Structure 1
Amino acid sequence: MREDRHVVVAGGGPAGATTAGLLARQGFDVVLLERERFPRYHIGESLLPSLLPVLDILGVRETVERHGFVRKSGAFYGWGGQEWALGFDGPEREAQYSFQVIRSEFDQLLLDHARRLGADVREATRVRRIALEGGRAVSAAWLDEDGRGGSIGFTHLVDATGRAGVLGARQLGMRRVHDVFRNVAVWGYWRDATVLPQAPESSIGVFSLPDHGWLWAIPLHDGTLSVGLVTDKRSFQQARDTLGSIDAVYEEALGRCPLLGRILHGARQDSVLKTESDYSYTAEAFCGPGWYLAGDAACFLDPLLSTGVHLAMHSGLLSAAAITAVLRGEVEAEAARAFYQTAYRNAYERLLILVGAFYRIHDGRDAYFRQAQQLSHRDQRPLRLHESFLNIITGAEDFHDARSLSPEHLYAKLRDPVAGRTGQGLGGHGTSHMLPLPITPDHAAAGHYLTLSPYPTLRPA
């Protein structure tokens, strides 16, 4: 069975649902193929305020608000011997809160909304392979849970298949794992936990450990607290060899964090532990002829700054705008890809550098703030010291840059030798070793910016 559509979106998580919904809303013929049946479990529960304008553009914000997710008003850090909090509120902030979500429920809301907007959503349908002709992606072979299969031709493919990476990782072999972030995450869910009185209401708590690693605490609307441990693989394996089990490693780590101990005093663990490892990676390119990689299919950083869903929905918005501009004849395909590659990689690499700075745990809060100021486009004079940091960790900086600036300037700045020396990465190394690609002619020629009215598309800078 052969079909032809404007766009095939592979994967129904936040990246895929955002892309499909935005394109379908404009009347394009979009089919979304999702391997699982929703709802399905997923980690990545603490969201950034940057998702609010995207929810507005999709027209799904009221649905998300009504669902009853915990409203996240900020973050609390017990980090490197310091305790400090940041609230998202402020008179000039476009988005002053976010949500702590059960991802199975949040992702279902987005996927169902994409279907209501007109996307042909097919669950339990796996993309087997993408056909390439002359280096261009042209069709997707699929297989459903009943053994039926077929092929769909398209003008554009969005690979939003997450860590599976159907096109970018599996077929093109473009994925590279970051050696400096070879970490392990172990997490579970607790009931009857308390709150830290000094933390913003319903905030995420992030706590460094004295030697290796850190812990998170995220309150959810079903009454549980998501509590996770992140540490490097070598330290994790040594601890497991010594203590005898993953559960023992987790419990020992919790016992070394007095701040988290206050939250969990009298609480009880309500789930078996889950683990993930080697989850920090990037593709060598985020797009090519006929295809875009979005969300985790393109890159994943680290859970430290809760950036996963932000990058997913941000890339969904960018890819939808780029494809719209091409399908409407407003921008040439090569120029649209150049914009996407540059804007998405800017967002990813800025966060990569800031997370790298954070892992130098004892540098202190003000050092992280100064690093953030170096990574910001905005005029620093009227800003308080923490403002650039807050703009980046809420995702506001990425949204601002895509809408108002030609992004190649930041791309060059990230590779400036001075920035490389001042923004050192893990283990005291310069940041340049973490930035995967040199500047190419395509990046220098990006020359477009994102506009949201009357629909998400690209305009010349």
Structure 2
Amino acid sequence: MSKRTKVLVVGGGPAGSVAATALAREGVQVQLIESARFPRYHIGESLTPSCRTILEAIDVAKKVDDYGFVLKYGGVLRWESDSWVFDWGSRLGINSWQVDRAEFDQLLLEHAKSNGVAVTTGVSAREVTFHEGRPTAVRCVPDQGAPFDIDDFDYLIDASGRNGLLSTRHLDNRRMDKTLRNVAIWSYWRNTKSLPDTPKGGINVISSPEGWYWVIPLAGGRTSLGFVTRKDVFTERRRNYSSTNEMYRALVHESESVRELVADAEYLGGVHVETDFSYAADRFGGPGYFMIGDAACFLDPLLSTGVHLALYSALTAAACIASVNRGEVTEDASLTFFEFAYRRAYTRLFALVSIMYERYLGKDGFFRTSDRLIGEEPSLEAGETASSESFVKLIAGLPDLWEATDASTRVLTERLTAEALLVQRRFMKAEDGPGSPDFSSVLENPLRDAESAEYRLVTSPKLGLERTKVRES
């Protein structure tokens, strides 16, 4: 293990691997530690087209294509009485993948190694030492051998996932959203069907009175099939079954739509349960550190945005550090841009996911909300329905990349913030109790602080930040 490094990355999932690779390709010395030994199982199999764009930037997309994952061109949402197709291939000319995360994550980590990142697995980061607010050392505990410190680095990237090395253990700045406190239960099948008109390799999302189902085709004829519901509903219903397997099978057969998809399929067994509580930290970075992926925030998996947010934050953090390292921007300016870019992405997707849980809106309401969130709200005649174009772009993750790289396309901060706050406050069912700050604060204040950011992200001829002028209207 190297003694001196410019950047220490904690966590070897997609966020950590992409950030480390992007920096190494800019000539920055990077060391990465990961607590698990890969390959390791992980949920989050359905990727957005934005992931392709980001992986192309670090020259690994072709490796993912060649690996044999299912190519994903869109999907079908069946939400209450509405059903609609989103086809990224025909509408946007881009596709993504349905992946086995154990294999996908290992592929990204191996790519990091091949680009010069010093990778060590089986090492957990347990404690961070700070000096005047800046991290100066990380206490590491290997699964074999004695604990040791890494204490010679300039930047710490926290990609530790939901464990949240910095946010939960040191900064105490993670705020939970009381409106999206869900639980997911899932397993695997072979040879399931898809809903009619599903684009090639597409995901199916099907609502129910108590939640929603995902149906994701994977390589080898397998399918990931899961159900997401509120924690209180899950807890109450769990009492009626002798096992999670029994509960899962009952949930699958409750939905007529899902039941038809698995009618001739083989159940492979092995039930998983995980909480999907949405949260965000008050701040995503500070002197000498950046929090990326789930270490900074997590959003309900309804629109498969988890890996998008991980890769987007990873590339943005890497661009910030690379520019600071070359003396092109100050550290403060880079942190302002990172906060601006990452929180805007989270805030916008939070608003859209939350609005979809308000079922009475219908798909026309979802589409109109999407128009407002992108800033392309058209003037509609009485009785005219909204187009799905903005919705299709949003769930592809592309507006976040467009706005980071082209300041002229950015929607006014106040508009995004107001939309997200409106949804969040409408969803609030109870006042926050003592010691549980209002989640709305993490949606509002940092966006205002970062509103005057004057940079854009560039990937060519080098990764970094470039000074520009943000559109003011």
Q: TM-score, normalised by structure 1?
A: 0.93
Name the amino acid aligned to 2:269: S
Task: State the match for 1:330 in structure 2.
Answer: 328
Picking from 400, 403, 409, the partner of 1:401 is 403
Task: State the match for 1:436 in structure 2.
Answer: 442
Task: State the match for 1:177 in structure 2.
Answer: 176
Contact 2:374 2:411 in 1 (8 A): no
Task: State the match for 1:77 in structure 2.
Answer: 77
Give matches, 1:104-253, under 5 Å.
Answer: 104-148=102-146, 149-209=148-208, 211-253=209-251
Name the amino acid aligned to 1:438: E
Picking from 428, 440, 448, the partner of 2:455 is 448
Secondary structure class of the residue paired with 1:231? strand
Note the C-alpha offset of 1:146: 2.2
Note the C-alpha offset of 1:435: 5.6
Deviations 1:406-460 (A, max 9, x none): 79854322233x775589753799xx96462433574133221111111221111
Contact 1:343 1:407 in 2 (8 A): no
Name the amino acid aligned to 1:206: V
Deviations 1:21-78 (A, max 9, x none): 0000111110001111110000000000001111111111111110000011111111
Contact 1:408 1:444 in 2 (8 A): no
Contact 1:356 1:425 in 2 (8 A): no
Contact 1:160 1:293 in 2 (8 A): yes
Name the amino acid aligned to 2:170: Q
Secondary structure class of the residue paired with 1:153? coil
Picking from 351, 357, 370, the partner of 2:355 is 357
Contact 1:408 1:446 in 2 (8 A): no
Name the amino acid aligned to 2:172: G
Distance 2:311 2:338 in 1: 13
Contact 1:2 1:152 in 2 (8 A): no
Q: Percent identity?
A: 38
Task: State the match for 2:294 in structure 1.
Answer: 296
Contact 1:353 1:425 in 2 (8 A): no
Note the C-alpha offset of 1:90: 3.4
Secondary structure class of the residue paired with 1:206? strand
Note if 1:35 corresponds to 2:38: no
Distance 2:271 2:416 in 1: 38
Distance 2:423 2:225 in 1: 33
Q: TM-score, normalised by structure 2?
A: 0.91
Distance 1:365 1:152 in 2: 52
Distance 1:303 1:27 in 2: 35
Secondary structure class of the residue paired with 1:242? coil
Aligned residues: 455
After superposition, the CA RMSD in angstroms is 2.4
Give matches, 1:44-59, under 5 Å.
Answer: 44-59=44-59
Distance 1:404 1:181 in 2: 32
Name the amino acid aligned to 1:108: Q
Contact 1:50 1:394 in 2 (8 A): yes
Deviations 1:326-349 (A, max 9, x none): 111000100100000011000001
Note the C-alpha offset of 1:124: 0.9
Gaps of 5+ in 2: 431-437, 469-473
Distance 2:152 2:113 in 1: 20
Runs of 4+ in 1 over 4 A off after TM superposition: 378-384, 406-409, 418-425, 432-435
Distance 2:173 2:423 in 1: 30
Contact 2:2 2:31 in 1 (8 A): no
Note the C-alpha offset of 1:352: 0.3
Instruction: Provide closer, same or farther for how the CA distance between residues 413 and 435 of structure 1 changes in structure 2, counting only shifts above 3 A.
Output: farther
Task: State the match for 1:8 in structure 2.
Answer: 8
Secondary structure class of the residue paired with 2:154? strand
Distance 2:114 2:420 in 1: 46
Picking from 387, 390, 398, the partner of 2:389 is 387
Name the amino acid aligned to 1:207: I
Contact 1:35 1:126 in 2 (8 A): yes
Name the amino acid aligned to 2:450: H
Distance 2:365 2:411 in 1: 23
Distance 1:270 1:189 in 2: 5
Name the amino acid aligned to 1:223: G
Note the C-alpha offset of 1:377: 3.6
Contact 1:408 1:443 in 2 (8 A): no
Instruction: Provide closer, same or farther for how the CA distance between residues 59 and 419 of structure 1 changes in structure 2, counting only shifts above 3 A.
Output: closer
Shifted more, 147-156 versus 338-347: the winner is: 147-156
Secondary structure class of the residue paired with 1:59? coil
Contact 2:154 2:288 in 1 (8 A): yes
Instruction: Provide closer, same or farther for how the CA distance between residues 415 and 194 of structure 1 changes in structure 2, counting only shifts above 3 A.
Output: closer
Secondary structure class of the residue paired with 1:141? strand
Note the C-alpha offset of 1:319: 0.3
Contact 2:76 2:198 in 1 (8 A): yes
Name the amino acid aligned to 1:190: W
Distance 1:439 1:200 in 2: 40
Name the amino acid aligned to 1:21: T
Gaps of 5+ in 1: none
Shifted more, 113-122 versus 360-369: the winner is: 360-369
Distance 1:64 1:121 in 2: 20
Contact 1:342 1:411 in 2 (8 A): no
Distance 2:114 2:377 in 1: 41
Shifted more, 264-273 versus 213-222: the winner is: 264-273
Note if 1:281 corresponds to 2:288: no
